[in-house]
């Protein structure tokens, strides 16, 4: 099954490094980052898991729960975590799913046969509290994921989920946003009292409404 934006994120039960979980129960009411790794003890993924742990506070303040996945078994995961903590100077305490039978990998279409018939590609899913898929990314094995970008996208998703705005290219939290076309120009002042700028009839900007 190929998951697309707006699809319901499938539920699953899994063995993880923090114990057995039910995905829906564990993530109830939270935003979620679910991301996969081809196997344990891979160098790029070692840095990624370490970086995720270092950003624990950033994810928490956004109400985001992070889950990682690898198709290796739980014993390998625990050994890998020791290496990650040592080499990345951090403490990995979020769950890493042991998906040895590839149940979750298949459920989330993380195995791409042209890349590997057995190992997961390096997927990222951002899932909202409504359990809908909000973002998908797939990285090659050679390129480490940009977690500042993942946090930036979550900021955008959370903002645009609450207000009738969109975020422009290279937007960062605190910068001006775009008023969506569905709002008539004459209705903007009532919705966005901080003011707005009309660049073109279809391109109107306003200060970020929750700042």
Active-site residues: which are they?
45
Q: Can you read off the two tokens belonging to residue 150?
A: 């993942």
Q: Are 68 and 37 in contact (CB under 8 A)?
A: yes
What value, to the nearest 5°, has the Cα angle with vertex 58 and ends 53 and 59? 75
Q: Interhelix angle for 74-88 vs 43-54, to 10°?
A: 70
Among 185, 202, 52, 35, smallest CA distance to 120 is for 35
Distance separating alpha carbons of residues 56 and 66, to the nearest angstrom: 9
Residue with tokens 């081809």: 38
Distance separating alpha carbons of residues 36 and 113, to the nearest angstrom: 16
Q: Is 184 exposed, middle or buried (0-12, 13-18, 19+ CB in 10 A)?
A: exposed
């Amino acid at each position: 099954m190929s998951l697309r934006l707006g699809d319901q994120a499938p539920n699953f039960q899994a063995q993880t490094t923090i114990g057995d979980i039910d995905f829906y129960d564990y993530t109830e009411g939270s935003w979620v980052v679910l991301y996969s790794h081809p196997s344990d003890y891979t160098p790029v993924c070692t840095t990624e898991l370490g970086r995720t742990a270092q950003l624990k506070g950033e994810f928490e303040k956004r109400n985001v729960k992070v889950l990682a996945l690898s198709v290796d078994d739980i014993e390998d995961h625990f050994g890998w975590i020791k290496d990650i903590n040592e080499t990345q100077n951090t403490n990995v305490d979020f769950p890493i799913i042991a998906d040895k039978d590839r149940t979750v990998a298949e459920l989330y279409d993380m195995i791409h046969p042209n890349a590997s018939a057995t190992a997961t590609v390096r997927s990222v899913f951002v899932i909202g509290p409504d359990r809908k898929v909000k973002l998908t990314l797939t990285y090659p094995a050679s390129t480490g994921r940009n977690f500042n970008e993942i946090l930036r996208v979550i900021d955008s998703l959370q903002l645009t989920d609450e207000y009738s705005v969109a975020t422009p290219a290279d937007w960062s939290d605190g910068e001006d946003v775009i008023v969506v076309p569905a709002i008539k120009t004459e209705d903007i002042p009532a919705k966005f009292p901080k003011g707005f700028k009309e660049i073109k009839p279809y391109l109107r900007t306003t200060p970020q409404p929750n700042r």
